[in-house]
Every structure is written in C-alpha cells, then in structure tokens.
Amino acid sequence: MRRRHISQSLELPLADRHEKETRQAWVYRCVRERILAGELRRGDRLPSTRTLAERWGVSRGIVELAFEQLTLEGYVVSRVGAGTEVLADLAGAAPTTHARREAPAAIEPLPENAASLALKTGRSVDTALFSLPAWRRHMNRALRTVTAAQLADTDPRGYAPLRESIARYVRVTRGIACEASDIVVTTGIRHAIDLITQVLADATTWCYLEDPGYKNLSALIGVPASRCVSVPVDDEGFALAAAAHAAGAARRAGATSGIAYVTPAHQAPLGTTMSINRRMQLLEWAARHDVWIVEDDYDSEFSYGSAPLPALKAIDAQARVIHCSSFNKSLFPSLRIGYLIAPPALLARIALLRSASGRANSLVEQMALASYIDAGDFARHLRASRSVYLRRRNLLLDTLRATMTAPCRITGEHAGFHCVLWLPAHVDEAALVAALRERDVYVEGLAEFARARAMPPALVLGYAALDDARLPAIATQIAAAVNAAAAR
C-alpha cells in the first residue's frame, strides 16, 4: 500500500484576496498555488470542505465548487471515506510569487562533536549491549499508566519516583546518604555543571579545574579564563598544594568563593583514583577557602579490579559537594537523563533555575527509567556490560603488550572506558595521532585534554565501544605506529 505523506494542511495559510476576485476563485487559487509550489505534494490530504470553510470564513458550497474545479483539472482527487488528497506532483512546474525562494546558501558541515569522537575512539558505551526489548517493556508500561495529572506535573526537580529510585541506587552503590528531595534530574552532567555554575558563580568566583581534564570545561562553565585555575593531577588525584597556592592568590585578587571540578573515581583522562587521604584533604581545603566541589562521577559503575571507593559526596560532612552523574554514560547517549545531588542550601536555587531554563526531561522516559531501575534491569545491564568492557580492555592490552616493542607504560586501566598509553619522551604525539587517524584508527592525544600544563606524550585509548572482532587489529596498528615513531 502506498504510504501517504503526513499533510501539514490542517491550517492552510490564506493568501490575500485579489481585487474583484470571487471567493470561489480565491479558494481555488490558494490551494493550487500551494500544490504548484511543492508545499502540498502528491498524497497529502486536504482538510475537509467543512473545516476549510470554517477556517477561511466562506460557505461550504464555495469550497466544494473550488475543489470540483481542482478535481477536474487533475490537481486533487476525492475518494469516499478517504477525503480529498493531492493527485498532481507539480512542484516547481509553474513557480508563483508565493513559491519563489532564495537559493539556499551552502551549508557548512557540522564540526565533529565530543560524543561522536568518543564513539569513534571507543571511549563510550556500546549501545549494542543495551536491551531494547527490556526498555520497550518499561516504555510501554509508562505509556499505559501515565495519567493526565502526571503530564501536568511541574516539579522542577524531576519525576519524584525516579528521584526515589536514584536515591536508593546511590545509597547502596555509592554510599551517599540522601533522599529523593536532595536530587534534581538533569539532561546529563553538562547540564548539571551549567546549572551549578549559573547558581554559584559571580564576579568574585574562581574555578579550580583538573589539568589535564574534561575537554572544553572552561568554556562550559562560562567563567573568564583569568579566573580559571589549572590544578595538576598527581598519583593521588587533585594536587592540593597547587590548589592551596592558587586559592591564596585568588583571595589576594578579590575572590570570595570558588568552585572546584574533580573526577575522583576515575580521573578524566589520566584514570587516577583519588585516594581516601586526598579526598579528606580536599574537603578540608574546600571548607577553609569557601570552595564548592563538583564531583563528576561519570563512569564509576565500570570498575574492573574491585568495587570502587564510595563517592566523595559520601564523606562530605560539611555539605560542600555537589555530586553529578548520568545514565547517558551507562545506558545510551541519547537518553539525556542525569542527576545531581546538592546540599540543602543550593537545592531550591538549582531547581528554580532548571525550571526557568526550559531544559527538562521527557516524563515518559523518566517513568520508564524508574521502572527499569526498580525491576533490576539496570543492575543486570551494568553487570553484563562490565563483563564485555573488561574483555575488550584485556583484548586491547594483551595485543599491545604482545606487539609493542617501544618502552611504554599503561595506566588508568582499572576502570572506565579508556586507559592511557605513555609514550617515549621524544615521540611526536600530535603526529602519531594524525598518522593513526589517516588509517581510520581514532585515538586522542593527552595534550588535547590539557589546559595549561605541558604533558609528556601519551595516547588516550578507548576500548568499550569497539567491537571485539576489530580490537586486535586496531591494537596491532597502534603498536606498529608507536614502534615506528619510537624508532625515529
């Protein structure tokens, strides 16, 4: 059966009536011009004569006469029980003044976004592992049970049962003592960071950012570069000696508050796990300098050697930490559901800003996700995915170790979607990355994540989203390229 176009003709625009033009000719001309312009196409259904008469302020008989003329001339056809639809396909045959358009300017190709690059490099979830039948069951249940009252829910924190599900989940898995009332649902971690910085940052706020760290973070937070401090990351995480020195300088420059952004579970990109001692020292430093801490817990679900340490928020006795996480990082990127857990002093302001920003989440998908978590499907997905990602990590590392002769070391492989391959000091990192990309092997150089620090050459190697069958070949090409670069 021929599929009909979805017509946009429920509200046909009405052109001005010409002087001395009859109403029948006017209706005829308005419909005909839209057909000739290609705005109404073959298979598009027209409104009923009654509807069109009411909307255009003419009698139904006039519309019927106009439709008869269009039918006789072959523009439309009427079928019993199916109404009137366009028969002719004359787009551009007789352009009218209404139909003329400026020639469209050449569209520049969109630059590659972070999510696309993460998928190419393998530093992302593999959506093929996500069970669509299971998700459809929860989506269908949500659609069957949603009520009109729920559709009108205006709670700026998000769907309450989902927040309850998240609270139960983080209490068990991340050690965070929280309630649903402490949580705000977001579209992801970037949305959370945007809300937090808009609420907290003013002209006297300084930001303390991991270096190397999250790409383009300084642009996302919207604080001038002059008030963004690069804090080195050492073997224990966020280097507090450097942060303390920077905080002192910020105070002398007029700073009254600060925001520190950290990734304690698996530092992005170095893969360091912040030690418990460093975490306690970080909390003390934050309280002393009136600094709020944004904890990005982006991939804590994927720890391969042992269970991860509890979240930084779990030991936050002085309520300085805003914990952020995202289901986009564990299920699929287009889900666009994350959350933040904020101290009581900030919750109302963050929720109010979320409401004012207009950036909300689909109610039905929030309902489905709450059901998905409560039914145990989320935990099952994490267990299955973790097993696959561990296997892929091992495939990558085993192949590299078997084929690479250059003196390199690997760090950060205990968790997450990537690890870091440290290169010999004389290797040109940028040239190596470019050479591999020419062979359709996508890796990232560590320098791409640096803000102010000059880092030793290294490659950030993703593996989670790469197919098992391809990984050995990819790893072999990386090893060959590194060996050749090291031999120069």
- 416 close to 396: Cβ distance less than 8 angstroms: no
* Residue 64, number of CB atoms within 10 A of its CB: 17
**Tens of pLDDT, residue by residue, the chain (488 residues):** 444 554 444 567 778 888 888 989 999 998 898 888 888 888 888 888 888 888 888 999 999 999 999 999 889 898 877 788 888 876 555 554 544 455 556 677 767 677 777 888 999 999 999 999 999 999 999 999 999 999 998 899 999 999 999 999 999 999 999 999 999 999 999 999 999 999 999 999 999 999 999 988 988 888 898 999 999 999 999 999 999 999 999 999 999 999 999 999 999 999 999 999 999 999 999 999 999 999 999 999 999 987 788 999 999 999 999 999 999 999 999 999 999 999 999 999 999 999 998 878 999 999 999 999 999 999 999 999 999 999 999 999 999 999 999 999 999 999 999 999 999 999 999 999 999 999 999 999 999 999 999 999 999 999 999 999 999 999 999 999 999 999 98
User: Any idea of the CA torsion for 122, 125, 128, 130, to the nearest 10 degrees?
Assistant: 170
Q: What is the pLDDT of residue 81?
A: 74
- Between CA 128 and CA 290 the distance in angstroms is 44
Query: What residues does 294 pair with on adjacent strands?
Result: 261, 322
Closest CA to 212 of 448, 421, 449: 449
Other Cβ atoms less than 10 A from the Cβ of 140: the count is: 11
Tell me the residue length of the chain: 488
In whole angstroms, give the CA distance from residue 323 to residue 171.
13
Which pLDDT does position 479 carry in this prediction? Answer: 97
Distant-in-sequence contacts of 433-441, Cβ < 8 A, 24+ apart: 433/459, 435/481, 435/485, 436/477, 436/478, 436/481, 439/477, 439/481, 441/474, 441/477, 441/478, 441/481
**What's the whole-model pTM score?**
0.84
**Those residues with Cβ within 8 angstroms of residue 458's Cβ, 6 or more apart along the chain or in another chain:** 420, 421, 422, 423, 429, 445, 446
Cα Rg of the chain, angstroms? 29
**114-121+131-377: CATH topology:** Aspartate Aminotransferase; domain 2 (3.40.640)
Would you identify the CATH topology of the domain 380-487? Aspartate Aminotransferase, domain 1 (3.90.1150)
Q: How far apart are CA 378 and CA 372, in angstroms?
A: 6
CB 245 within 8 A of CB 229: no
- Report CA-CA distances (Å) from 336 to 110, 241, 277, 327: 21, 37, 34, 8
Contact 370, 335 (CB under 8 A): no
Q: Could you give the CA distance from residue 44 to residue 84 in angstroms, rounded to a whole number?
A: 9
Handedness of CA 147, 153, 155, 158 (dihedral sign): positive
Question: For residues 444 and 460, is the Cβ–Cβ distance under 8 A?
Answer: yes
What gap in Å lies between CA 160 and CA 17, rounded to an integer? 54
- 445 closest CA partner among 464, 456, 430: 430
Render the burial of 424-448: b for 16+ CB within 10 Å, e for the rest.
eeebebeebbeebeeeebbbbbbbe
Backbone angles phi and psi of 185, in degrees to 5 = -80, 135
Contacts of 307 (CB under 8 A, 6+ apart): none
Separation in Å, CA 387 to CA 235, 272, 350: 27, 21, 37
**Cis geometry, peptide bond prior to residue 212 (ω within 30 degrees of 0):** yes
Q: Contacts for 366-369 with beta carbons within 8 Å, 24 or more apart?
A: 366/158, 366/159, 366/162, 366/185, 366/337, 367/141, 367/142, 367/145, 367/146, 367/150, 367/159, 367/161, 367/162, 368/135, 368/138, 368/139, 368/141, 368/142, 369/138, 369/162, 369/165, 369/327, 369/335, 369/337
**What pLDDT sits at residue 8?**
44
Going from N- to C-terminal start, the domains of the chain cover 23-86, 114-121+131-377, 380-487
pLDDT at 103: 55
pLDDT of residue 116: 78
| pLDDT for residue 91 | 53
CATH of domain 23-86: 1.10.10.10
d(CA 412, CA 481): 21
